[in-house]
Structure 1
Amino acid sequence: MTQTIYFEIKGAGDPAAPAVLMSSGLGGSAHYWRPQIDALCEAGFRVIVYDQRGTGRSPDALPADYTIAAMAKDVEAVMDAAGVACCHFVGHALGGLVGMQLALDNPDRLSSLTVINAWPAVRASTRRCFDARLRLLDHAGIRPYVEAQPIFLYPSAWMEANQAVVEAEVEHAIQGFPPIPNMLARIAALKAFDITDRLASITTRVLAVAAQDDVLVPSSASEALCAGLPEATLEAMAYGGHACNITDPASFNAILVAFLTRV
């Protein structure tokens, strides 16, 4: 792995303004956080978003034994390149795992950690969803795999009301789909992640946001996180699905900005 990681810095020009680094889920795209950037910038934060290695504008060939720990090292490289010694980290699903790994490996680099629909170890229901999608990818190809994705991301009512948005996202995801070996390596990394026995070692202050209608990751996963973390607050969203920061950005942004402001 030799390529540098693409990242963008948004918001306050003051280099002393607190930095919020945002790490997306399996898709790996900086674009995922577009509903949050303005709210955070208006609250006085600098926002760093990036395309994860092997995705989007950070092309690279990933090894089959790729790990969440390697993804956490990439975050440190992004911080170094951005001139940021310490940040508030916000991670969605896989991105949340990356943040927890960084909190274990180098906690001095984190002012706080927000994890959205994440888990200490992959849940049986989540594994079933990924296994079904992998069979789609293997037997039917990229388009059916991507066309099934909104079912796991969004509430059905939201999809019905935003059909054009969903269709555009599907086509964009197909056009930008990473090499299949990279996708397989990333899924294997999240399935192998298990810090159940190390949660008590994470001393960073944590906000866990859980959507109660998430069909991919049950809210019980966030409850398990908070039960094991020394400094954790659980915020439940009744509506929003797995991508609750996209489907209900007003509620999510209010929760996030309030937490970061308190910290």
Structure 2
Amino acid sequence: MPTDFTQEHLERGTDRIGLQVYPSPSDDGPVAIIWPAMGVKARYYRPFAAALGEQGITVIVADLRGTGASTPPPSRASRYGYPSLVEDVAAVSEALKPRLDGRKRLLIGHSLGGQAAILHLALNEPSDVDGLALVAVGLPYWRHYPGLRGYAILPYTQAIGAVAAVAGVWPGWTFGGRQARGVIRDWAYTARTGRFPSIDGVDAEAAVRKVRTPVLAVSVDHDQYTPPETLDHLCAKLEAAPVRREHYTTAEAGGRLDHFAWVRASTPLASRIATFTTTL
């Protein structure tokens, strides 16, 4: 499967969202839109896109706002947070509708991208999305980290939030790349409370409980940022959705796994996602 993609852009007022569109294996097969982790560029997912393509799935990878081909980069002037990320998911889905009509539509979210995808579904029920796959996603609630890690996670996440608030932007020191302070504020809130922040005045927690879109939720071995317990916590919020909860192991992958490395050992995982897609 070729890993060359066509770079496209979706204009969003003063911002634009970069979209990497991979060659379609068929004219009527399923289409997956991948939403990346915080600070991770869309190009990083090329091995995963190739593996999904081998399974007959057309792949489009969107850069999160301010990352990669999505511009402008975060600065002190950036005012956006989770609500804008959720709006971007909706805008991309709407823009792609003409080429997706009649085909199964799958959202695949990694880490922050998975949170944005869930919130998009929560605020847009009923949805024209057929399924959601979450890989290495979780709410980084400090109480759900094993052992004593939670007691380090809480001050770590809140310190990042404090730096972003004071500096007006998160500089990207050791974590997450350069980010708008609103994104960091909302992320730190989830780590402190275990809850989603309200989205434009909407109770996101209540909205998530009403999501009915089928979900495949996959944790991965050696995930240093969203261990399985944080994904279990997130899945518990999806009270109305049929959820398939799975775990991806190093033995199955045949390569090193962690919060990011799974992308480069994703062939067996792509097969799992293809199987999930056939059930939609």
TM-score normalised according to structure 1 size: 0.73
Helix, strand or coil for the counterpart of 2:65?
coil
Equivalent position to 1:101, from 109, 119, 126: 119
Equivalent position to 1:208, from 205, 208, 217: 217
Please say if residues 161 and 188 of structure 2, whose CA atoms lie closer than 8 Å, have aligned partners that are also in contact: no
Helix, strand or coil for the counterpart of 2:114?
helix
Helix, strand or coil for the counterpart of 1:110?
coil
What letter is aligned with 1:221? Answer: T
Does 1:36 find its partner at 2:42? Answer: no
Structure with greater helix percent: 1
Q: What CA distance in whole angstroms lies between the structure 2 residues aligned with 1:55 and 1:213?
A: 25
Structure 1: gaps of 5 or more residues: 150-172
Deviation at 1:56, TM superposition (A): 1.7
Aligned to 2:157: 130
Please say if residues 129 and 216 of structure 1, whose CA atoms lie closer than 8 Å, have aligned partners that are also in contact: no
Q: What CA distance in whole angstroms lies between the structure 2 residues aligned with 1:109 and 1:97?
A: 18
Deviation at 1:128, TM superposition (A): 4.4
Deviation at 1:103, TM superposition (A): 0.9
Does 1:232 find its partner at 2:250? Answer: no
Instruction: Give identity over the alignment, percent.
Output: 22
Report the more deviating stretch, 223-232 or 96-105: 223-232
Residue correspondences, number = 229
Aligned to 2:31: 19
Q: What CA distance in whole angstroms lies between the structure 2 residues aligned with 1:77 and 1:192?
A: 25
Aligned to 1:50: 62
Give me the CA root mean square deviation: 3.1
TM-score normalised according to structure 2 size: 0.69
What letter is aligned with 2:259? Answer: H
Q: What CA distance in whole angstroms lies between the structure 1 residues aligned with 2:154 and 2:105?
A: 31
Q: What CA distance in whole angstroms lies between the structure 2 residues aligned with 1:134 and 1:224?
A: 22
Please say if residues 123 and 217 of structure 1, whose CA atoms lie closer than 8 Å, have aligned partners that are also in contact: no
Deviation at 1:247, TM superposition (A): 4.9
Deviations 1:95-152 (A, max 9, x none): 0001101111124231101112223x4311455443466789999x968x2xx45xxx
Aligned to 2:183: 186
Q: What CA distance in whole angstroms lies between the structure 1 residues aligned with 2:226 and 2:58?
A: 29
Deviation at 1:4, TM superposition (A): 2.3
Please say if residues 216 and 245 of structure 2, whose CA atoms lie closer than 8 Å, have aligned partners that are also in contact: yes
